[in-house]
């Protein structure tokens, strides 16, 4: 049994591929149970990390077959649809990759802090279902330590921005001053909150399927909560729409926006879709006076924020090397202990 990683990310797959294998937070435990459903007496260790930028399966198993089968059967896809976008690592290389992820070096926006919380959340969900044992627990403990050290001992997260804040920056590039712009936030998740907080001095409306969540976020940012069935009314009047829900299907379709445009009098509508799976049908961008950007379009904005952080990357890589060696020493010690425990006792 060996540590194995199978995954894809924004570096290997565009959003239209990533969304095929994305897992919403509320479905993560269901996915873990599905992964283990075929196990007999020999239970696999597994942690699944799924964010807007990546889906990664960390297992302790004999081969990658279990992870490949999970992708096909859980998501009801042919592996050929995603195979060329996948990467798979074993042993130390898999461990090092997780440490790079937790440190923010593998993120779309280098050094962003949200991914560390996502790594913690993935591990916590697995622990609650008891799908981790000594090896994955040790690995994720070291990876989280690596992520914390990278941010406290270097400046890798200086001026750090999430995808949500990059979306706001993009809006400012298009419109300039946002002071007089009306903004609609769809979804009350973490990325929506980041975007909304940066816009709190503007006129901001918040819509969410669960109304009290919209009210909670609106209260934090001095905005106004609206009901989900009022979306069309606000799509007619708002200039900027930032959408990040956990929906499995498009919530903003081409016919819907086509009807909305009739009441907008050719005023431009700026849509930023930071959800994976996407909230906005990409065909919406074909409509006149509509400017649609998805999560992959944020790369250009992120690039401008990377210059100062590039100097910090070697410092973070040194920390990763130290934590990797700590993990290797632990693993060697663990294997030695197992051998000594299983060896026959010497005669007195």
Is 164 annotated in a binding site? The answer is: no
Is 191 annotated in a binding site? The answer is: yes
Alpha-carbon distance of 279 to 203, in angstroms, equals 22
Is 159 annotated in a binding site? The answer is: no
Q: Could you identify the residue written with the tokens 């779309």?
A: 108
Q: Could you identify the residue written with the tokens 């622990």?
A: 127
Is 113 annotated in a binding site? The answer is: yes
Is 52 annotated in a binding site? The answer is: yes
Q: Which long-range contacts (CB under 8 A, 24 or more apart) does 174-181 make?
A: 174/270, 174/291, 175/239, 175/240, 175/270, 178/202, 178/240, 181/239, 181/240
Is 53 annotated in a binding site? The answer is: yes
Is 95 annotated in a binding site? The answer is: no
Alpha-carbon distance of 221 to 290, in angstroms, equals 27
Is 192 annotated in a binding site? The answer is: yes
Is 54 annotated in a binding site? The answer is: yes
Is 51 annotated in a binding site? The answer is: yes
| 329 CB-contact burial (10 Å; exposed 0-12 / middle 13-18 / buried 19+) | exposed
Q: Which residues are catalytic?
A: 52
Is 76 annotated in a binding site? The answer is: no
User: For residue 15, which of 244, 295, 248, 302 has the smallest C-alpha distance?
Assistant: 295
User: For residue 196, which of 216, 210, 176, 212 has the smallest C-alpha distance?
Assistant: 216
225-253 in b/e form (b: 16+ CB < 10 A) is: bbeeeebeebbbebbbbbbbbbbeebbbe
Alpha carbon 301 to its chain's center:
18
Alpha-carbon distance of 280 to 266, in angstroms, equals 20
Is 112 annotated in a binding site? The answer is: yes
User: For residue 229, which of 182, 261, 168, 186 has the smallest C-alpha distance?
Assistant: 186
Do strands 87-90 and 2-9 pair parallel, antiparallel, or not at all (unpaired)?
antiparallel
Is 7 annotated in a binding site? The answer is: no
Tallying the residues shown for the chain, one arrives at 348
Alpha-carbon distance of 287 to 14, in angstroms, equals 22
Annotation: binding site: 51-54, 107, 112-114, 118, 187-192
Annotation: binding site for NADP(+): 187-192
Annotation: binding site for substrate: 51-54, 107, 112-114, 118
């Amino acid at each position: 049994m060996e540590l194995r990683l199978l995954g894809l990310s924004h570096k290997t797959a565009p959003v239209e591929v990533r969304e095929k294998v994305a897992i919403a937070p509320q479905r993560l435990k269901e996915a873990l149970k599905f992964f283990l459903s075929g196990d007999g007496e020999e239970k696999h260790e597994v942690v699944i990390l799924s964010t807007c930028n990546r889906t990664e399966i960390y297992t302790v198993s004999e081969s990658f077959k279990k992870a490949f089968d999970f992708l096909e059967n859980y998501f009801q896809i042919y592996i050929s649809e995603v195979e060329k976008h996948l990467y798979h690592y074993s042993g130390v290389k898999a461990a090092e990759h997780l440490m790079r992820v937790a440190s923010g070096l593998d993120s779309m926006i280098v050094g962003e802090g949200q991914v560390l919380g996502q790594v913690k959340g993935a591990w916590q969900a697995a622990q609650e279902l008891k799908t981790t044992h000594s090896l994955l627990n040790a690995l994720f403990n070291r990876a989280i330590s690596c992520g914390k050290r990278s941010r406290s001992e270097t400046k890798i997260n200086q001026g750090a921005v999430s995808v949500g804040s990059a979306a706001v920056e993009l809006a400012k590039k298009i419109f300039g001053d946002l002071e007089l712009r009306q903004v609609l936030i769809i979804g009350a998740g973490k990325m929506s909150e980041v975007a909304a907080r940066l816009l709190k001095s503007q006129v901001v409306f918040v819509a969410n399927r669960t109304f009290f969540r919209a009210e909670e976020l609106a209260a934090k940012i001095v905005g106004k909560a609206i009901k989900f069935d009022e979306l069309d009314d606000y799509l007619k009047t708002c200039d900027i729409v930032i959408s990040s829900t956990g929906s499995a299907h498009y919530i903003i379709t081409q016919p819907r926006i086509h009807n909305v445009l009739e009441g907008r009098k050719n005023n431009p509508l700026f849509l930023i879709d930071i959800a994976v799976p996407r909230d906005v049908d990409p065909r919406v961008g074909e409509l006149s006076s509509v400017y649609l950007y998805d999560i992959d379009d944020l790369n250009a904005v992120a690039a401008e924020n990377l210059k100062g952080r590039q100097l910090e990357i070697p410092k973070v890589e040194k920390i990763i090397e130290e934590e990797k060696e700590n993990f290797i020493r632990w693993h060697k010690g663990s294997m030695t202990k197992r051998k000594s425990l299983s060896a026959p006792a010497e005669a007195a």
